[in-house]
Amino acid sequence: STVISTDGVLFPFWCIALYLFWQLREGQIGWPGTIGLGLAIGAGFLSKYAMIYFAIGMALACLADAPTRRAMLSVRGAAILAVALGVIAPHLAWNAANDFQTVGHTLDNANLGGDLFNLDHLPKFLGDQMGVFGPVSFLALLIGVIFMRGGRSAETATREDWLACFILPVLTIIAIQAVLSRAHANWAATAYPAACILIASVFQRSGPSRPLWLVVAGLTGLALLIAPALTLPIRLAIAFGVVAALLAIGHVAKWRAVGLFWAGICLHLVLTVFLAVLLLGPASWVSATGMDNSFKRTRGWQDLADQLVLETERLQPSAILVDEREIWHGLDYYTRDRLPAPLILWRYNPGPENFAEQRPLSDDIAANVLVASYRSNRRPRIKADFATWQPVGLVGVDLGHRANGCPLRRELRLYAVTGHAPLDRTQAWVRQFKTETDDGKLVDTHIDRLPVCPAAGN
């Protein structure tokens, strides 16, 4: 595997739960299915907290749909909740005994402590969703939910509205999160199992519509043209090729909406194969398309780890201290069983806030520490925790270039430090170092700002 994601674990449980919940609503589920639904909900929650959106969908479905409400207000409904809670209970107990660390980690990811209300993030979020669900599918979802609700039979309307309970809350909540702070593209992914069924229903019941094809083809082409990860020639080629293919298929399909559904599946399959080939092929293929920035998190870790191992063998530290959680996790995996000293994540807060911070830099391993620093604005804080601070080198890997020509590099500056005496994490401590970096430059917050790249204006 090139990517390890909790979404891959969550989705099977989400889909099983969605199917069994509909069967419960239809009265076509026995006790094995009832227990299975509870197990799927519980296991999904253990996979990723995003399963909470399923609970929200269940609640909305109960409010909007009488058969669903009756099914949940029954012995089977109580059994489903009991089984789900039974699966989740050990996790909740562990969190309660450990200051709810995984909850804190989730809230930290939301980053609600920064600047709030960034309306410019919304278009990016919507564009990202076209990449996650596919451009044709996402556009069809929006058009179907907003503009194609008329002319439905009562049975179809009930089914589509029921599915919407598991789609709209996720998209709405994550869109609000994107505006308030930030939202990664995959955070709304749980909306799409139900969305797949919904758009199939919308297309199946809709008649021929040339305007629908033209709108979807045009917006798909526009989205591909403004995709920032690709070079302009690649964007132009893909955009015009996709638009031409959609219009050609539409003509052959006599502009029937169901043809757009199958055209979308074919397009998404082609794009999936394209990305898979890039991921599995030589790095030069990724660079040629201008997608280095999109693939950077999957590249360079082994090389960086090998360099760090060599440096630790040379310097023989008592501990290695890093200042970025993502770096810690990457090095923890790629240096496993090869480092002569424990790998520690420096704590910004008084106590551990996530799994990587579980082990502190205790006195028994703090005699001769090697700091491997990724963030320049954290170095003054780390330096203040030690009596001596001596630069001893750096390790790094080139990851290609951004689409504007700016280089991408993952680099760790190395410092040999002694005399560990950490300062108290008070508000005065936060204010003291808020705008400092090790090179005298100023930053706005505790998150690094990327330096201006000379190539950006070219």
Nearest residue to 3 (alpha-carbon basis) of 194, 309, 275, 401: 275
Task: State the burial class of residue 280 (Cβ atoms within 10 Å of its Cβ: 0-12, 13-18, 19+).
Answer: exposed
Q: Is pLDDT larger for residue 264 or for residue 26? A: 26
Whether the CB-CB separation of 294 and 128 falls below 8 Å is answered with no
DSSP H helical ranges for 206-300: 210-225, 232-252, 257-280, 283-289, 292-295
Map out the domains of the chain as residue ranges: 1-110, 300-457
Task: State the burial class of residue 261 (Cβ atoms within 10 Å of its Cβ: 0-12, 13-18, 19+).
Answer: buried
pLDDT band at 249 (very low <50, low <70, confident <90, very high): very high
Lowest average pLDDT, out of 210-224, 250-264, 268-282, goes to 268-282
Contacts of 11 (CB under 8 A, 6+ apart): 189, 190, 193
Q: Cβ–Cβ contacts within 10 Å for residue 121, how many?
A: 18
Find residue 397's DSSP bridge partners. Answer: 410
Lowest average pLDDT, out of 142-156, 265-279, 294-308, 404-418, goes to 142-156
Per the document, the length of the chain is 458
- Give mean pLDDT, residues 59-83: 97
Judge whether residue 451 has pLDDT over 60.
no
Lowest average pLDDT, out of 20-29, 105-114, 143-152, goes to 105-114
Judge whether residue 100 has pLDDT over 90.
no
- Name the DSSP letter for residue 185: G
Judge whether residue 456 has pLDDT over 80.
no
Task: State the burial class of residue 442 (Cβ atoms within 10 Å of its Cβ: 0-12, 13-18, 19+).
Answer: exposed
pLDDT band at 1 (very low <50, low <70, confident <90, very high): low
- What is the structure's pLDDT at 455? 47
Judge whether residue 364 has pLDDT over 50.
yes
Whether the CB-CB separation of 212 and 260 falls below 8 Å is answered with yes
pLDDT band at 107 (very low <50, low <70, confident <90, very high): low
- Give mean pLDDT, residues 53-75: 97
- Give mean pLDDT, residues 60-71: 96
Judge whether residue 313 has pLDDT over 50.
yes
pLDDT band at 443 (very low <50, low <70, confident <90, very high): very low
- Give mean pLDDT, residues 277-287: 84
In angstroms, the CA 379 to CA 443 distance is: 13
- What is the structure's pLDDT at 457? 39
Structure tokens at 377: 């604005």
